[in-house]
Amino acid sequence: MTTATPTYQWSAATGAVTNYRLVVLNGAVEVLNALYTPTVAGCSGGGTCAVTPTTALTNAGYTWHVNAENVVGAGPLSATWSFTVSIATAPTTAATAIAPIGNIATTTPQYKWTPVPGATSYYLQVYDPTVGYRIQTVYAVGPGAGQVDCTTVPGECSITPAVTLNAVPNQWWRVQGRNSLGNGPFSNITSFTVN
């Protein structure tokens, strides 16, 4: 489910129903316990009841059930249904740099970092203190040339840009996960020296 405020539907109960009690749980934690009249639920004449509570749910798994109530008391609980809320968000975590770091022997290094959940592209910055930024490029995640590979090595994303670096000390790089909803935080700055 891709909404934080889903609509709950159930069949109207028979009898003189005064309220329906809707209960939504995240595991054993009750996140919603609300009463709705048949009129509010749109089923005062029978048929299908439906409500859309304003209580916003977070990305997680949920179960829910409903039961009818009247002046005599509460009826039996309905079956329990389950659903998962999975709403896309901008990346919220930073990648962890893997390589290059320290002394390296190539002017065209492969950059490696841990994947950022939800990232569909990465912004790579590489800085040379003698000339400034050498790379400030967004690379899409994918299997093609010039794209970030996040599938070959489990737990690792990598790319080898077609940019030849100078053989100088104290260069640094960092990477930022991105998607259509926004940009995540940058990884820590990682220094390296090309020998």
**pLDDT tens digits along 35-61:** 999 999 999 999 999 999 999 999 899
User: Which token pair is 48?
Assistant: 């299908």
**CA angle, corner 45, sides to 39 and 49, nearest 5?**
60
The structural domains of the chain, ordered by start, are 8-85 (2.60.40.10), 97-194 (2.60.40.10)
pTM of the model: 0.63
Residue with tokens 């592209």: 121
pLDDT per residue over 106-135, tens digit each?
Answer: 999 999 999 999 999 999 999 999 999 999
